[in-house]
Amino acid sequence: MNQTVFALVIAVTGSVTALCSFARAADPLTYRVEIASVGNSDMDATLQATSDLQSLRGTAPVSPFGLIARARSDVDRLKTAFESYGYYQGSAAIKINGLNVTNPGLGEALTALPAGKDAQVQISIALGPLYHLGRIDVDADLPEAILGALGLKTGQPAVASAVLEGGARMLTALQEKGYAFAAVDPPVAYESADSPVLDLRFHAVMGPKVNIGEVHIDGLKRVRESLLRDRLLLHTGQPYSSSAVERARRDLLALGVFSQVSLGIGTAVDESGGVPITFKVRERLRHTFSTGAAYSSDLGGSGTVKWTDRNVFGGAQLFSISASVLNLGGSDTTGVGYDATATYLMPDFGHRDQSLQFAVSALKQSLQAYDQTARTSSVTLARKLSSIWTVSIGGATTDEQIIQNAQTHFYTLFALPLTVTYDSTNLASPLEDPRHGIRASVSLTPTLALGHPNSRFLISRINAATYFDLNHLLPIEPGRTVLAARALAGIAAGAGELSLPPDQRFYGGGSGTIRGYQYQSVGPKFQVGDPAAGLPIGGTAITAASVELRQRFGANLGAAFFVDAGQVSGSLRAVPDQFSIGVGAGIRYYTPIGPIRFDIAVPTKRMDSVQDKFEFYIGLGQSF
């Protein structure tokens, strides 16, 4: 064989070998990641979130050499992460299939992996010593109160986020005292030569103390500027305060007609001698259409459609029409019902934070306790006294027909409801997940009922719920484990059990009181011998309470475990033998508008032979 033929054979053989190698090589390459724990769960979670190897593993396919490049970039990313916790001499080492990412043979080794074979990525962290803060200097003559806002002390761990937050607090304190043009630069750190200590120096500039200058509003289309001017508590000439400016921004956003309200703060004084403030607004879509649905085994399914005009005449007036189909199946219903409602709300009516609402509705319910067909009209004046207190008073009239125990009753009701509400959860929507604070309300509703018989009565109700984040007691992240508790009590005074219209009596059972028991099934029943024997009558008093443990898993999943208890009778006096207790559990899927809830509950005692063995409930938002 001459040399030319020999070279050709070698070339062909090499090409075939290479083709076979590439034919079995995996591209993209699948891999698994193992990050060794550093002994700190919070830091472990941060490292997991920081690593591109981990976060992109399932969403961004990569070639063998792309995997090496990704791993090399992760070294610097991970180093930045543990440095933010105060470990400035640490190091990160990454191996793939036992080879260091700097090994020149790693690319060939990964290319040779057959399809379906995962590469194994091991990441190890050597933290080194934890650095602490040493000397802390501020090169400006600041008042002692401003310096105290820094909140950093010699000897504490040199955690980057805490250091930066200290500078931000000092800047906020300066702006709160009227120094709108103050500046605090990120600190310069000096490492000690003989110990793991960082000295810090902050550069701060106070600038002049100023007042609020001209207030401008940009971006208005349909909303009247006069409405916003009347609402704003921020005025030209008053002392500058960053918190006052932010409160004004939130006040405008709370009107509900803006999707965004941002701030523009001037960099120099204007003609008034103050700092100009500009609110840049973006109006929401005027008209919206929404749908909703819920289901429980006792009340069946319901579906709702709603149309809303959130800015009828340019003054943020809210007009909405909703229609619901009720009682689609369910063990405690006897037919399909409906609820149609129209409301018109006028914000800032006669006074800031005071609204006037008109409503009309038509309702039909077919329940085991009674059948009801009603038409209601109401007017309500509500006043927000503070960020947590609200009071409302109104008037309502109802014409209704109620069939109970084979008897038909017609009533005309005149009511004057008064309600005081307390809410310290600081949430914009009742559908959001409360983690702390208290929600409570007290209502008094004197009512005149014209019917058979006529009656006058006063219905009093107290509702309270509190939420406690267990991160104060356990080493867990905020908001992951929450204990919630609820209590309610109500009494109707001035009329007996049977002289009250059936829909004005109290009933227990269902998602709003005692889960596990059918809707309205807890309380007095018609006696044996009546045509409606065993069906609920309703009572003149109710007491109930719930305790619920809420636990989140990952970003969107959660679970709940709860106990509900209560009784319905003729007085608020607790009678242990009459208490009904339900226990259950549920799952939660958290969405941007609130958690989707699925609960299942069982009664601890059977009310009668037709009592279901369990009840389940599906809805949006927590149960309370």
3-class SS string, 230-294: HHCCCCCCCECCHHHHHHHHHHHHCCCCEEEEEEEECCCCCCCCCEEEEEEEEECCCEEEEEEEE
Of the candidates 421, 409, 524, 416, the residue with the CA atom closest to the CA atom of residue 464: 421
In a shared domain, residues 473 and 566: yes
Read off the tokens for 189: 């750190």
Q: What is the CATH number of the domain that holds 35?
A: 3.10.20
User: Is the residue at 372 inside a domain?
Assistant: yes
299-329 per-position pLDDT tens digit = 999 999 999 999 999 999 999 999 999 999 8
In a shared domain, residues 271 and 341: no
In a shared domain, residues 30 and 47: yes
Integer angstrom CA distances of residue 378 from 345, 374, 458, 468: 12, 13, 18, 36
User: Is the residue at 36 inside a domain?
Assistant: yes
In a shared domain, residues 112 and 184: no
Strand partners, 250: none
Read off the tokens for 320: 């909405």
Three-point CA angle 377, 378, 382, nearest 5°:
160
Q: What is the mean pLDDT of the chain?
A: 91
pLDDT confidence of residue 10: 31
pLDDT confidence of residue 533: 61
In a shared domain, residues 116 and 137: no
pLDDT confidence of residue 7: 38
Range of the domain at 390: 333-620
Q: How many domains does the chain have?
A: 4
Of the candidates 432, 437, 427, the residue with the CA atom closest to the CA atom of residue 469: 437
Amino acid symbol at 345 = L
pLDDT score of 495 more than 90: no
Mean pLDDT lowest for which of 181-185, 298-302, 305-309, 603-607? Answer: 603-607
User: Is the residue at 315 inside a domain?
Assistant: no
Q: What is the CATH number of the domain that holds 246?
A: 3.10.20.310
pLDDT confidence of residue 353: 93
In a shared domain, residues 45 and 148: no
Residue that is written with structure tokens 């003054």 in the block: 315
206-228 per-position pLDDT tens digit = 999 999 999 999 999 999 999 99
User: Average of pLDDT values for 234-241?
Assistant: 95
Q: What is the CATH number of the domain that holds 377?
A: 2.40.160.50
In a shared domain, residues 473 and 593: yes
Q: Residue 92 — very low, low, confident or very high, per pLDDT cuts 50/70/90?
A: very high
> First-to-last CA distance in the chain?
90
Q: Residue 530 — very low, low, confident or very high, per pLDDT cuts 50/70/90?
A: low
Contact present, 514 and 413 (Cβ < 8 Å): no
Residue finishing a domain among 205, 229, 252: 205
In a shared domain, residues 444 and 405: yes
Strand partners, 530: 528
Residue finishing a domain among 205, 229, 248: 205
User: Is the residue at 8 inside a domain?
Assistant: no
pLDDT score of 345 more than 70: yes
Contact present, 87 and 127 (Cβ < 8 Å): yes
pLDDT confidence of residue 21: 40
User: Is the residue at 547 inside a domain?
Assistant: yes
User: Is the residue at 216 inside a domain?
Assistant: yes
Read off the tokens for 136: 């802390």
In a shared domain, residues 345 and 249: no
Q: Residue 197 — very low, low, confident or very high, per pLDDT cuts 50/70/90?
A: very high
In a shared domain, residues 60 and 95: yes
User: Is the residue at 11 inside a domain?
Assistant: no
User: Is the residue at 242 inside a domain?
Assistant: yes
Residue finishing a domain among 92, 126, 160: 126
In a shared domain, residues 91 and 29: yes
Q: Residue 357 — very low, low, confident or very high, per pLDDT cuts 50/70/90?
A: very high
Cα(454)–Cα(449) distance, integer angstroms: 6
pLDDT score of 18 more than 60: no
Q: Is 210 helix (H, G, I), strand (E, B) or coil?
A: coil
Contact present, 476 and 470 (Cβ < 8 Å): yes
Its pTM stands at 0.76
In a shared domain, residues 114 and 140: no
User: Which residues have CB under 8 Å from 14's CB, separation 6+?
Assistant: none
Q: Is 74 helix (H, G, I), strand (E, B) or coil?
A: helix
Total residues found in the chain within this entry? 624
